Amino acid sequence: MAGVKGSQKGVIKMEYRVLGKTGLKVSVVGFGGIPIAKVSEDEAVEVVRRAMDLGINLFHTSPTYGDSATKIGRAIRDRREECILNVKIFGVSRERTQKGLESALKMLQTDRIEIVQFRITPEQFEQGLGKEGGLNVLLKAQEEGIIEHIGITDHDPNFVAEAIKTGYFSNVVVPFNYVYNEAREKLIPLALELGVGVAAMKPLGRGALTNVAEALNYIWEHGASTAIVGMKSIREVEENASIGSKVQPLTPKQKRRLKSLAETLLRKYKIKSGALIPIDERA
Ligand SMILES: NC(=O)c1ccc[n+]([C@@H]2O[C@H](COP(=O)([O-])OP(=O)(O)OC[C@H]3O[C@@H](n4cnc5c(N)ncnc54)[C@H](OP(=O)(O)O)[C@@H]3O)[C@@H](O)[C@H]2O)c1
């Protein structure tokens, strides 16, 4: 299994969950590739490799995240079998998807991607699934063995819930955290019923949620297989991997605390695509 080899090199034992009908066993902590675009290539490579050492096997990136995919490509090239690559590619048109896929393969220095996340908005959905849309490019790549699984991603979990009814997608990546928890209502129950794997992005509200262990356990408790956490330092990787090695149900007291904390945070932050953005008091 991807990841097991890596985890033996670390002192902790990462937990894994099956990502719905993909059948892939993903680490409960996934690596979110946005923040590494902000650090040097050498630092990023060290961070990604430390994540692998500690058993993190799911790496989310996109050719649109600056040089994130290039850095991940360099970090994993001699340990490719330990990784499940999860790559977001825009899906509105054939041309854009083809270009995105080619860039991703090149940046990641690989000839295959385990999961491509079809990125589409509600307004683009019909076009993306049509004759000239990007989904056809992904389906062809899947037939050719370049892509193993196709998932869908957008910031609106209710739209994603409708999208999975088409049967094209085996997994989803959606914003989900204890403050922005819309996905709990409709999407997650439906996904679990259909065998569609759920990965949570923005699990820390883009860094505003600092009670990390509780925030991640909240996600795992509500049916997500993995929380894709943005990380750019060894310290963050070690802390998050350690939390992922002891998944714990929240106590009733913790649940009450998170609910009240969420209410307090909503007075200081506004929600944008699942991220918590400070409300500018001068505005
Ligand atoms: N549509 C899509 O498919 C889509 C869209 C957006 C994002 N994503 C993916 O989802 C990932 C996660 O989202 P995100 O990075 O925006 O937000 P996030 O995971 O909620 O928050 C990331 C931030 O949390 C902080 N952090 C991480 N570990 C920490 C720890 N142990 N202690 C304290 N702070 C910690 C870091 O802040 P500092 O950097 O300040 O240290 C980091 O930048 C992205 O990286 C990306 O891969 C996917």
The structural domain count of the chain equals 1
- Ligand 1 mean position, distance from CA 145 (Å): 30
* 283 part of a folded domain: no
Q: Which residue has the higher pLDDT, 4 or 229?
A: 229
CA of 121 to the centre of ligand 1 (A): 21
CATH code (residue 18): 3.20.20.100
Residue 7's pLDDT band (cuts 50, 70, 90): very low
pLDDT in tens, 148-184: 999 999 999 999 999 999 999 999 999 999 999 999 9
Calculate the alpha carbon distances from 163 to 16, 78, 95, 180, 206 in Å. 26, 36, 22, 20, 25
Contact 84, 24 (CB under 8 A): yes
Average pLDDT for residues 174-203, to the nearest whole number? 98
- From the CA of 236, give the closest atom in ligand 1: 31
Neighbours of 64 (CB within 10 A): 14
Question: What type of residue is 96?
Answer: R
Range of the domain at 37: 4-278
Closest by CA position to 118, among listed 103, 95, 144, 97: 97
Q: Evaluate whether 34 touches 230 at the Cβ level (below 8 Å).
A: yes
**pLDDT at residue 283, rounded to an integer:** 46
Atom of ligand 1 nearest to the CA of 177: 20
Tokens representing 181?
Answer: 């928890």
